[in-house]
Amino acid sequence: MKKRTMKNIALVGLMLVVPGLASANFTVNWNMSGDFWGEPGEDFTGNLGAAPDLPANTFWNQNPMPTNTTLTASDGVTVTSVGYEFPGGWPWNDVAWDAGLGDPSLDIFQRGWGGEQDAAASSMDIFGLDDAYEHDLYIYSNLIHPNPIVSLRGGQFTVGGTTLIATSLEGDSFIEGVNYVKFSNLTPSGGTITVSLENYDTGDINAWVVNGFQIVQIPEPSTLALAAAGVLALCVARARRR
């Protein structure tokens, strides 16, 4: 009886440890791509981004529209209730300059939503989230254009009382605080996380840009504890068999 109980605990624990087997932990990716203004969209696939995820989970929702609902999870199969919206409607948009970035995994920076130079603050809503869970939010921000008049670089992002800045200097990898920012352990309100988008003055232009985001739903502490217990039980069971 004890052996069977231990095995059951181990099985449950392992199911919760492995992402994709537990509904409590999933990632949704979006980037501003697709055909727009007669220009062909860029395919951004096969990359994990900065957020941790299973190697097989490489799906990105690619949409240049200012709103989208029921985004698909990073496994490319699970349709979620998560969506996004820029409540202000159509911000300024342009194709980003990606020459010299090197690593193809940085293709996410080829396009972005942006505010005009010296524009007023805007916002982005990510909705359809579960208030019972905390979330990590990664926002990508990098646009360097050959025309300095429209070269938007980085931005200032605020959620609640926390403000983070992406300086958007050139680089060939994902660098927190440079081409993306990360908000940790956010709790949605009414299923929504609202991000304030404000200008950041790089010395060339005072503006902001958003290329995409990753939103990661974090398992509850009790879930993690049960998962740890499951792994421990499995180890004990194996040790006893030896």
Q: What is the pLDDT of residues 60-97, one digit of tens each?
A: 998 888 899 999 999 999 999 999 999 876 666 655 55
Extract the residue ranges of the chain whose pLDDT is less than 70.
Answer: 1-24, 34-46, 89-105, 144, 146, 148-150, 170-171, 221-242
What pLDDT is attached to residue 240? 66
What pLDDT is attached to residue 43? 60
pTM over 0.85: no
Residue 215, CA distances (Å) to 132, 143, 186, 230, 234 in order: 15, 21, 10, 27, 31
The domain ranges of the chain are 1-24+227-242, 26-218
Q: How far apart are CA 108 and CA 221, in angstroms?
A: 32
- Superfamily of domain 26-218 in CATH is Galactose-binding lectin (2.60.120.430)
